[in-house]
Structure 1
Amino acid sequence: MGAEAEERPHGAAVITDGFGLKGPRGWAFREVSFRAEPGTLVAIEGPSGSGRTCLLLALTGRMKTKEGTAEVGGLPLPKRMAAVRRISALGHVPGVSELDPAFTVAEHLGERALLQRRFDGSVRTFLRRPSERRAAARARIDEAVAAAGLDLAALPKGERTSVRDLERLEALRLSVALALVGRPRLLAVDDTDLKLSDTDRAEAWALLRSVADSGTTVLAVCSEAPEGALRITTLDATAADDDEATDEVPEADSDLTEDSAEDTTADTTADTTADATGDTTEEGAADALAETGRA
């Protein structure tokens, strides 16, 4: 049985069918259907305000959906949300898992290692000598930092560099490293390509591809999906009534603006597409996000 476990892919397969989330004022997203094998890079593409973050949080067990079905690593949602949270980790998600600008890089990494040991450590771990526990924590940190491509020596003050002094790409790498400390089967990152130059954007996607190639399934919200990723497209459906012959819709202004309707479709490299509907609203997305404390 141990050999079988070792042969299984580390990443979590993600399967959705008619997946949807509704708030008091409307749908945040709905009719999302796709299948991602373990170790896939999934790019959730679409304009700001189209329910991308809600979909990301729902697939990591942090928001409860209202329709359709989904499985992450064989765990059904929303029935096994807590179990899905245990095998997934959030990188950068504004208002949900943000870096503290006053903390140094070392403080962030040390805190995450302590939390990991506190909540996920086995009894055997607690019985180790303090020196052994510190060595194990350092090894896990070094592994995560290397996987995220974060060069600590190149930072202005090394590990003592404050988050406020990091470049956008460096902060993204740090958030990914913090998530990887827990060795998750599913990594989720929001606003992947936000405020990045073309060069930095290419490096960000190279980072997430390397994480996916190592076996961890990656969900990444973006404005434009890179080549080779499994693309899930969310679109604003404000103009659906004006042009019923197409699913093309105008861009919303922000994740939390009101007075704009939206719809979610899924367009993947496997030609999996969700049906367009006219009753998803940006208010629905805002309400759903507010429940997580983001609004």
Structure 2
Amino acid sequence: MDSTPHGAAVKAQGLGVKGPRGWAFQDVDITAEPGALIAIEGPSGSGRTCLLLALTGRMKTAAGKARVGGLSLPKKMAAVRAVTALAHVPGVAELDPAFTVAEHLHERALLQRRFGSPVRALLRPRRERRAEARGRIDAALEAAGLDPETLPKGVRTSVRDLERLEALRLSVALALIGSPRLLAVDDTDMKLSDEERAQAWALLRKLAAAGTTVLAVCSQAPEDALVVSTARRPEKPRPEPEQKTESGSPAAKPEAEAAAEDGPEPEAEAAPEAGTEKNIKNEEGAADALAEAGRA
């Protein structure tokens, strides 16, 4: 384990996840110290969420090696899950729009007390346990920057009535109730205005500065974040072997080939972009891998 009391170091080399129809992502390298702000950047369908799930022990890797908080993946997936938490991962960990803020907080506190606390904690008096749960909730709300008093109906406000940034803060607060060493947030800047996006990154930056390692999926990372990209590198086309005559000199090119080098005819259809077929297969692999994680 790391010697640090809280944040988890993240190290990965050649990491990859493969779905039934192909790779979700490949060849990802990361070196991040405890308390780092890590931004997973890349186009939609490039395996960003799959990488987030893999680094939190919720999706099995198929290539490379990784360590989170000193725990190796995929060997110690259960142990990694115990020290990490997810916030707003569609299909895996998301808010119920019919629940109120209070119901979400109460449910998470009960789950934490039942499954995240040592057995001896369950033997303490009920009043003591309730006070501890209330303290965890208050601390998580404060850290996430969510004041229930500012909501339309206070803690009785339904999730469906929350603004996008408020819902993000609630998701983060729920994840923080378990005091994770690594907080993973999906779709950090989706559907946010520029001002809201700045506030969201300010929140995550504050959590990282307090010691929690933060892993955030985004479309555009801030300059001060450690950026990890899942974008595919374009493959270099292989040069065709040069044909030679019996005397060893280069063979003359047919007129049709020579004309093609001068440029296509105006009516000619442009050739498909190199690697397009592979990118499609990779996106299918990412979707399949994510679907498997959602069913797990």
TM tier, smaller: 0.7 to 0.9
* Equivalent in the alignment of 2:231: 235
Cα separation, partners in 2 of 1:260 and 1:191, compared to 1, 3 Å: farther
Superposition misfits of 4+ residues, deviation over 3 angstroms:
239-244, 259-262
CA contact (8 A) 1:101 1:162 kept: yes
For residue 71 of structure 1, give the secondary structure of its aligned residue in structure 2.
Answer: strand
Partner Cα separation in structure 2 for residue 120 and residue 24 of structure 1: 33
CA contact (8 A) 2:4 2:34 kept: no
After TM superposition, the structure 1 = structure 2 runs for residues 56-67 of structure 1, keeping only pairs within 5 Å, are 56-67=52-63
Q: Which 10-residue stretch deviates more, 123-132 or 51-60?
A: 123-132
User: Which of 95, 100, 106 is residue 102 of structure 2 equivalent to?
Assistant: 106
* Equivalent in the alignment of 1:271: none
Partner Cα separation in structure 2 for residue 44 and residue 280 of structure 1: 21
**Superposition deviation, residue 25 in structure 1:** 1.0
Cα separation, partners in 2 of 1:230 and 1:172, compared to 1, 3 Å: same
* Equivalent in the alignment of 2:292: 291
Partner Cα separation in structure 2 for residue 96 and residue 217 of structure 1: 20
Partner Cα separation in structure 1 for residue 238 and residue 180 of structure 2: 43
Largest Rg, 1 or 2: 2
Give 5+ residue unaligned stretches, structure 2: 240-272
CA contact (8 A) 1:41 1:218 kept: yes
- Identical residues among aligned pairs (%): 70
* Equivalent in the alignment of 1:219: 215
Partner Cα separation in structure 2 for residue 236 and residue 105 of structure 1: 39
CA contact (8 A) 1:30 1:280 kept: no
Partner Cα separation in structure 2 for residue 64 and residue 56 of structure 1: 11
Cα separation, partners in 2 of 1:261 and 1:149, compared to 1, 3 Å: farther
**Superposition deviation, residue 242 in structure 1:** 6.8
User: Which of 127, 138, 141 is residue 142 of structure 1 equivalent to?
Assistant: 138
CA contact (8 A) 1:9 1:39 kept: no
For residue 34 of structure 1, give the secondary structure of its aligned residue in structure 2.
Answer: strand
**Superposition deviation, residue 9 in structure 1:** 4.0
For residue 144 of structure 1, give the secondary structure of its aligned residue in structure 2.
Answer: helix
For residue 137 of structure 1, give the secondary structure of its aligned residue in structure 2.
Answer: helix
Partner Cα separation in structure 2 for residue 133 and residue 38 of structure 1: 30
* Equivalent in the alignment of 1:173: 169
For residue 229 of structure 2, give the secondary structure of its aligned residue in structure 1.
Answer: strand
Normalization by structure 1: what TM-score? 0.84
Q: Which amino acid aligns with 1:179?
A: A
CA contact (8 A) 2:21 2:281 kept: no
Partner Cα separation in structure 1 for residue 278 and residue 170 of structure 2: 35
Deviation string 1:30-79 (CA, Å, 9 cap, x unpaired) is: 10011010000000011111110000000000000111100000100000
**Superposition deviation, residue 124 in structure 1:** 2.7
Q: Which amino acid aligns with 1:206?
A: A
